[in-house]
Amino acid sequence: MKIKEAVAALSALAQETRLRTYRLLIEAGPEGVPAGQISGALRVAPPALSFHLKELSLAGLVSSRQEGRFLYYSADFERMAALMTFLTHNCCQGMPQECLTVMETALSECCLPDSKRKPARRP
């Protein structure tokens, strides 16, 4: 990923409604969520949601597909991985093994089934 692409992705996520939308799509997985369901879950008016989904799409973070009358949106997990890789590329002064435990722990917290997750620590 090039720096301009990373800036575009981070800029798209630097807005509350778009970040909430993106997190909802990440939780939903590759099958995605219909636009109406996103609108209802986040209590965002359809025209406003359409604007935010367009911004996420332009940044390459989400894609859409039509099924009948419904438009489904899903997160682009490859793009998310590319952004995470870009952000951690020079982790720990070129010694990623030093950061690996932290990253593995963070990923296990978000990506394991609920039954295997560790309870989240609260400060």
Top pLDDT among 39 and 94 is at: 39
Residue 71 has pLDDT above 70, yes or no: yes
Q: What's residue 106's pLDDT?
A: 58
Contact 60, 14 (CB under 8 A): no
Residue 64 corresponds to which tokens in the numbers above? Answer: 């859409």
Residue 94 has pLDDT above 70, yes or no: no
Lowest mean per-residue pLDDT among 3-7, 17-21, 111-115: 111-115
Residue 109 has pLDDT above 90, yes or no: no
Would you say the pTM of this structure is higher than 0.75?
Answer: yes
Share of the chain above pLDDT 70, in %: 76
Do strands 62-67 and 33-34 pair parallel, antiparallel, or not at all (unpaired)? unpaired
Calculate mean pLDDT across residues 85-114: 65
Domains and CATH numbers, the chain: 3-78 (1.10.10.10), 90-123 (no CATH)
Give me the residues paired with residue 82 across strands.
none
Q: What's residue 77's pLDDT?
A: 92
Mean pLDDT, the chain, rounded, equals: 83
Q: What's residue 90's pLDDT?
A: 72
